[in-house]
Amino acid sequence: MKEYKVAILGATGAVGREMMKILAERKFPVKELHLLASARSAGRFLEWQGKPIEIEEACEAAFEGMDIVLGAAENDIAKKFAPAIVKAGAVFVDNSSAFRMEPNVPLIVPEINPGDAKNHHGIISNPNCSTIITVTAVNALNAISPIRSMIASTYQAVSGAGAGGPLELAEEIEALREGKPVQPKVFSHQIAYNLIPQIGGEQFEGYTSEEMKMQNEGRKIMHLPELKVSCTCVRVPVVRSHSISVQLHFDRPISVAEAREVIANAPGCRLVDDLAKKEYPMPLETSDQDLVFVGRIRPDLTDENGLCLWCCGDQVRKGAATNAVQIAELLIEKE
């Protein structure tokens, strides 16, 4: 089997470290693994498959000879280095939002639109974490009858804000237990015992940038250019795994039984839907694995062509790192 030289841009962050873990778990054919980060991290070592790998400073020369670069850095870093990555002949699988809506950059969820990956010009984008989880949950229904509109509310874990999110939650809980004041740094307000109904800055008519991703990215991934979405994104005091409440509207009625059957057989999904037995998707059950759990499937009482459901998935893995590695797998399958 051919082996590949792989670099991770932003290797010291939560998603970068998860990418390292998943490359090993999925036995990706890595010939060499290069870990790239800022100058302050260069020279340190991270262990991978029992061996220490020295972190290199991210610079244009670092991409020479690479086959695949997995991006786990912020937008500005992705934009800075993308030209050098493409010039070096590598394919850049980028987890940032820098290129997602560029018309010549495929936006890929491998269970949904793997064929789009072949149309890349050196860059492939990984969608937003909540978008990945949601479209994975609903795409099988879209195959039965096109989704015309969707109302979604996301309940996003603190780890979605990076490694500092869970630490801030834990510190606030401890401070409140001791009767001390809290001093939010990662989040705009106290997150312990609270909900924050804003993720991202305002982008359109009171909707935040995070909320608009569900519509804009969902249209591109599912090839539904007219899809209408109203989304509310909420940060919740949960460590890991995002949950989404979804209300779907179709061209024709879809029964609950029909929906359960297709979701149970959909790639990347697990049906967990038995209200009598108190079985439904929850963050604790979906963390540290790659399936999107789907449940609470029921008729929409406001629209005979509608369904409601609840889905949950690990946003660090399937919502970011695993999806990126799956895209890399599509690239080597094509070869």
144 and 18, same structural domain?
no
Question: Which DSSP category does 114 fall into?
Answer: G
Contacts of 42 (CB under 8 A, 6+ apart): 55, 56, 57
Residue span of the structural domain in which 9 resides = 4-127+320-334
Q: How far apart are CA 48 and CA 323, in angstroms?
A: 20
| CATH, residue 18 | 3.40.50.720
pLDDT > 90: percent of the chain: 98
330 and 237, same structural domain?
no
242 catalytic? Reply is yes
Selected catalytic residue, list 34, 120, 233, 242: 242
pLDDT, position 296: 98
129 catalytic? Reply is yes
Residue-wise pLDDT tens digits, 284-333:
999 999 999 999 999 999 999 999 999 999 999 999 999 999 999 999 98
244 and 152, same structural domain?
yes
185 and 52, same structural domain?
no
Residue-wise pLDDT tens digits, 161-170:
988 999 999 9
In 3D, which of 180, 114, 143 has the Cα closest to residue 333?
114
237 and 121, same structural domain?
no
* Distances 305 to 245, 262, 263, 298 between C-alpha atoms, Å: 17, 17, 17, 12
pLDDT, position 209: 96
Task: Give yes or no for residue 335 having a pLDDT over 70.
Answer: no
98 and 69, same structural domain?
yes
206 and 81, same structural domain?
no
pLDDT, position 333: 81
Q: pTM of this prediction?
A: 0.96
| CATH, residue 247 | 3.30.360.10
* Distances 120 to 62, 123, 131, 306 between C-alpha atoms, Å: 22, 6, 21, 35
Give the angle 142-144-146 at the CA atoms, nearest 5°. Answer: 45
Question: Which two tokens mark 96?
Answer: 């940032």
Selected catalytic residue, list 34, 120, 129, 269: 129
